[in-house]
């Protein structure tokens, strides 16, 4: 039993090692990618559930490494948040997304994800103002997606920064809604323009009565609080139809369109009669 324990310990030890090595590799290579400007953005459409017209696109950062291949933001964004590299990444995504979106039809908004870490310090408001000014994008076409992790620490300047951003005239969406600790209490403390229902509630919408009830409750809640509501991760026609029936405003997911490089997204706009 003792030997067993030792082996197990060694096993965990070396897999921790491997994880730590991968992490520091990512950190080093990400610094290079940022310096060389090789990060990219994909755009994923959101459509109006009733009219099916494209109303918005979400900017999603992409990193394709010359030897490691595509590295998912699910892996490198949390590392970048820890190291502070998210500052440079976030600024690149916001500026580039505004520049790209200004060429699209005026009814199409651009949604950009923000990390909590970007709210530390006074830099965010000037960054947003400068991205808008330099691109010429009208402020009402910009939407910023934040998650609950941001709001867990409302003590700091976060509430003031959110309010200042709103006063500029852009829209603030609460992302991954329903997955956090106390989503509801945040809705009392701050007015969001939009809720995005997390895709974990969508995947079993057709088979799980409880998921259906939760999604329906979120949609009704959003309406009562005068927020718009979007659902992400829609992959089937049945999910789309169910969400439309429940009164969900906007739909995003592989069924409607995958995240695409900017030129493919612009083709997509033309093919779908939006440009
Ligand atoms: P998110 O903000 O919840 O973005 C939605 C994720 O779901 C994206 O993953 C998207 O590609 C994926 N997705 C969209 N439709 C479907 C679908 O129908 N089925 C499935 N299975 N997945 C779908 P992605 O691009 O890998 O991004 C993962 C997360 O990384 C994002 O989750 C977001 O939290 C973060 N992220 C991505 N880009 C940025 C960025 O520029 N800044 C920051 N701060 N975070 C980002
Ligand atoms: Ca998002
Ligand atoms: Ca999500
Ligand atoms: Ca998210």
What ipTM was assigned to the predicted interfaces of this complex?
0.97
Ligand 1, atom 13: closest residue by C-alpha:
233
For residue 255, the ligand closest to its alpha carbon is 1
Alpha-carbon distance values, 54 to 46, 71, 86, 110 (Å): 6, 28, 29, 11
Predicted pLDDT at 155: 61
Predicted pLDDT at 158: 87
Predicted pLDDT at 100: 98
What share of the chain in percent tops pLDDT 70?
93
**What is the average pLDDT across 185-198?**
89
| Any atom of ligand 1 within 6 Å of the Cβ of 233 | yes
- Ligand 1 atom closest to Cα of 118? 44
**Residue 12's pLDDT band (boundaries 50, 70, 90)?**
low
- Ligand 1 atom closest to Cα of 59? 41
Phi and psi at residue 191, in whole multiples of 5°? -90, 115
**What is the average pLDDT across 113-120?**
92
Predicted pLDDT at 153: 67
- Ligand 1 atom closest to Cα of 234? 18
Predicted pLDDT at 156: 65
The residue behind tokens 């190291």 is: 83
Share the mean pLDDT of the chain: 92
Structure tokens at 241: 């139809």
Predicted pLDDT at 2: 47
**Residue 13's pLDDT band (boundaries 50, 70, 90)?**
low
Q: Which of 113, 128, 204, 236 to mutate to test the pocket of ligand 1 (most atoms within 8 A of CB)?
A: 113
* pLDDT above 90: residue 30: yes
* pLDDT above 70: residue 4: no
pLDDT in tens, 235-248: 999 999 999 999 99
| Any atom of ligand 1 within 6 Å of the Cβ of 235 | yes
Please check whether residue 110 is in contact with residue 93, taking contact to mean a CB–CB distance below 8 angstroms: no
Predicted pLDDT at 240: 97
**What is the average pLDDT across 37-56?**
98
| Any atom of ligand 1 within 6 Å of the Cβ of 11 | no
**What is the average pLDDT across 34-51?**
98
**Residue 188's pLDDT band (boundaries 50, 70, 90)?**
confident
| Any atom of ligand 1 within 6 Å of the Cβ of 113 | yes
The pTM assigned to this predicted structure is 0.94
Report DSSP state, residue 121: S
Q: Which of 42, 60, 236 to mutate to test the pocket of ligand 1 (most atoms within 8 A of CB)?
A: 60
Nearest alpha carbon to residue 46 among 269, 257, 236: 257
* pLDDT above 60: residue 219: yes
Predicted pLDDT at 73: 98
| Any atom of ligand 1 within 6 Å of the Cβ of 74 | yes
Predicted pLDDT at 120: 85
Predicted pLDDT at 1: 42
Please check whether residue 219 is in contact with residue 229, taking contact to mean a CB–CB distance below 8 angstroms: yes
How far apart are the CA of 196 and the centre of ligand 4, in A? 9
Q: Which of 71, 73, 114, 252 to mutate to test the pocket of ligand 1 (most atoms within 8 A of CB)?
A: 73
Predicted pLDDT at 96: 98
Predicted pLDDT at 152: 76
**What is the average pLDDT across 88-97?**
98
> Beta strands 250-252 and 142-146: pairing type?
unpaired
| Any atom of ligand 1 within 6 Å of the Cβ of 232 | yes
Please check whether residue 195 is in contact with residue 227, taking contact to mean a CB–CB distance below 8 angstroms: yes
For residue 73, the ligand closest to its alpha carbon is 1
């Amino acid at each position: 039993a003792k030997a067993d324990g030792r082996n197990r310990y060694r096993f965990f030890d070396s897999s921790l090692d491997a994880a730590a090595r991968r992490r520091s590799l990512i950190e080093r290579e990400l610094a290079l990618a940022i310096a060389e400007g090789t990060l990219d953005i994909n755009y994923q459409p959101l459509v109006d559930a009733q009219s099916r017209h494209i109303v918005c696109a979400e900017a999603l950062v992409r990193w394709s490494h010359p030897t490691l291949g595509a590295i998912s933001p699910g892996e490198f964004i949390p590392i970048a948040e820890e190291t502070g590299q998210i500052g440079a990444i976030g600024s690149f995504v916001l500026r580039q997304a505004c520049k790209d979106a200004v060429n699209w039809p005026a009814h199409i908004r651009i949604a950009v994800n923000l990390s909590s870490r970007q709210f530390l310090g006074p830099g965010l408001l000037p960054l947003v103002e400068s991205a808008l000014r330099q691109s010429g994008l009208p402020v009402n076409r910009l939407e910023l997606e934040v998650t609950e992790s941001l709001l867990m620490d409302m003590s700091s300047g976060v509430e003031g920064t959110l309010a200042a951003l709103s006063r500029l005239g852009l829209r603030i969406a609460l992302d991954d809604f329903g997955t956090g600790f106390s989503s509801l209490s945040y809705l009392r403390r701050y007015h969001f323009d939009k809720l995005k229902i997390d895709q974990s509630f969508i995947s079993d919408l057709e088979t799980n009565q409880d998921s259906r009830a939760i999604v329906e409750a979120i949609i009704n809640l959003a309406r009562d609080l005068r927020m718009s509501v979007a659902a992400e991760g829609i992959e089937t026609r049945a999910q789309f139809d169910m969400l439309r029936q429940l009164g969900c405003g906007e739909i995003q997911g592989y069924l409607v369109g995958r995240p695409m490089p900017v030129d493919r997204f612009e083709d997509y706009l033309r093919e779908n009669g939006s440009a």
